Structure 1
Amino acid sequence: MHVLIVDDEPVIRRGIVKMAEMYQPAFSRIQTAENGVEALERIRACEPDLVLVDVRMPKMDGLELCRIIHEDFPQIKTVVISGYSDFEYAQKSMNYGVRHYMLKPVTTADVHDMLNQLIKEPSRGYMPPSRYIEWIDQMEQQIWALQMEELGSLIDRWRDYCLSVQLSLAGLKELLDDCYALLVKRFQARNYSPSITQAYLQADSVKEAVDTFNKGLIQMAKGLQAVRSGSFKDPMEEAKSYIDSRLSEDITLDQVAAMVGLTPTYFSSLFKKVTHETFVQYRINKRMMKAKEMLAIPYVRIVDVATDVGYDDYPHFTKTFKKIVGVSPSEYRAGLGIK
């Protein structure tokens, strides 16, 4: 079981962590966050089973965090541990699906009793549609880009998530079948028809169904790889080539993502991973490299260099050039012995 403890006071946060560490059976993972914003980032990166949260915190308070968890992650159990006994706080928290509202200071016995009650509660078998659509979006992008290592990592997280929501075998099969149908439809729209069997429908257990479905995802990627054999262009190389040939144009990330067939969000993440630069940083650096090449040609005016690398605003070009190169365009040219 994975727990997230959210409190802006370090001493209290550490105290609750120690109480959680003493609990048996031991938690598989204990994470902390000092405000609602940080907690939400951790939840989205790796969903906990249980969140223990304070009410009053900077950036995002506990009640707002509970509301978001209730709407977007209803399978996560929440407990409020607060120094405020105000009835309005307690009532609001219960409306947001909070299981317990505990008043500080809490003792180890208080926390352990609460945990005993929660763990005995039957979990609701439910996966919000928005969540599995999010998973499908990522699967589609990584299969289409043939990012096999990332796909493997995604599949592992998907497996853990499917098992954590505790769906019945029949419910899980129905969910996996919906996912399969949606993925196939999306790939057919891209002129690729995956040819895999729906063997997960014959599974005798939840784990077997998930593992069989995941093998099918790998088969989809390998099938696409075989179809593209010999003619596949790496989407990041295509993107870089597209940007490099249009340095004078004001192209957007969305345009380049659409050109290589990826969503802007996934393209942005993958581009940074491959190039170690953001889309904007890459384009600026390429523009400055081209500017340096052009400045080495004596008869080309600096104002024309600016225009050719996409800067109609000459002062903005000189400011950017100096920031990247360390000297102004005229100083750079003088350093080459060109007047």
Structure 2
Amino acid sequence: MGGIMREIAILIVEDNISSRQGLARSLAEAGMGIDHVYTAKNGVEALAYLQSLPIDLVITDIRMPEMDGLELLKSCRAAGYLTEFMIVSGFDDFEYAQTAIRYGVKAYFLKPVPLSELKAEIKKMMELWQQAEKGEKLKTTSQYQARELFLQKIIKGDILPEQMAEHCQKFDLPVSGQYLVGVLDCLFFHEDSYNQTPLRQAIIDFFNRHWPVARYFLFQTGSKQFVLLLCLNGQNPGKTADGCRQLCQDLNQHCGHRIYIGVGPIVTDLSDIILSYQAAGRAVSYLLFEPSEKLIWAEDLPAENILPTATQTEVPQMIYQAILNHRPEQIKAQLRLLFDSFREDQHPPHFVRGMCTYIIISVQTELEKLWRERSLAWEEPFSYDVINNLWTISEIHKLLEGLFLSYSNYLQKSHTIIDPIIKKSLFYIKNHLNSPLHISQVANYVHLSPGYFSVYFKNKLNQNFKEYVTQLKIEEAKRLMAAGDLNMEEIAMAVGYDQYRSFHRTFKKETGISPTEYQKRGSQE
């Protein structure tokens, strides 16, 4: 069937497993353009599908345990579902047929129905859907969308109190009782290509097997999260908690990717569903910390209103100075301490993102001033909005570290490119790292007095001569250690230290560990 742009979904309701699976397989492999074929063993399971998925056609048996085909049909019409129905029955009963026709059944087949006839009827219906689609009259889809819109308004508090009862009756939401909201989130939910059918089916299967008494609604928000609205009807809170834990465990086992669920408090008024939803949304946002426990209870969250510590507010200036002095290890160390504090104290995710945004803006502001003073082009544009699109705290940490290291590298390169004296000086230093290197040697090389050159060098590089040379020697020593061709005394000689003891002392002062310990750590990584 070419031309039908939307996906077509059919639900087969049959208590006989071989008949159910055989018909499902035949339709799935028929090449008719049917995208999804679901199965249910009775009317109760079928209703769960209809409440959670946009089903175009139900093909149902009549006589089944718990809820038969006609009861299913009546329930659907009472709830306002406009899904099309076909009945396949083993009973040639005029009353059954008459009732089915009265409720708008499109076809009534007696078993065993020839598959060719059933396919022909389905083909006719698909052609009608195609015509309806051209006129934008897809009743099934519009009904499903209307229910989704209603549920989204409920969680946002956008339904007027005087309209609440009417809407609830139309969409089969209990007007009294207990309500609980869970918000499901996963990295894959936010991908345009994500196939949500396995998730929806896993949730339907879970409630059918483990929590049949629960009334629930599943829908997706504009932010691609899924919302699960539970109507509990006075169920024991302990059993509710157990059910939530079991659901989270089942979804993570069967869906093949990490799914986090934030759970809000139980509320007893429809107008308070928004409070449960907001709390659940805050809870699921803690997936930022990649917790091992995928179920996050709103009642367990730390306080929301916190202020940055004095140490945290000093981070931008510390990083800025490390960038100016081209101290990559200091940049890494400052960020490591910052993110360790975030993890240890479990700061609210919005605070973490806000703090990181503040740090980036502060550092960029200072660097832009410096760039203008030195007539440098701002070649490292970055939008801090990216932080809001990152999934985990590890990704944010990695982003900031890479960004600030790139600023440091760019600043260092700019000196050598623009200033001829500095360029010549750095060339000399680089080629004489194997000697003690006194400032008078370099000053003489660029034809300046040692005193003037010292001030000139510090003004241009924001770092004095001795610090710069020491840092360069230590970086070269690290490179030689990684290469593994020289022993420690040879490395010390290669970077201009006549005595290993002097090299050892300087290395430990700069890095915090001895050369031997550094080399040992490197070999273990």
Q: Normalising TM by the smaller chain, what interval?
A: 0.3 to 0.5
Tell me the TM-score normalized by structure 2: 0.30
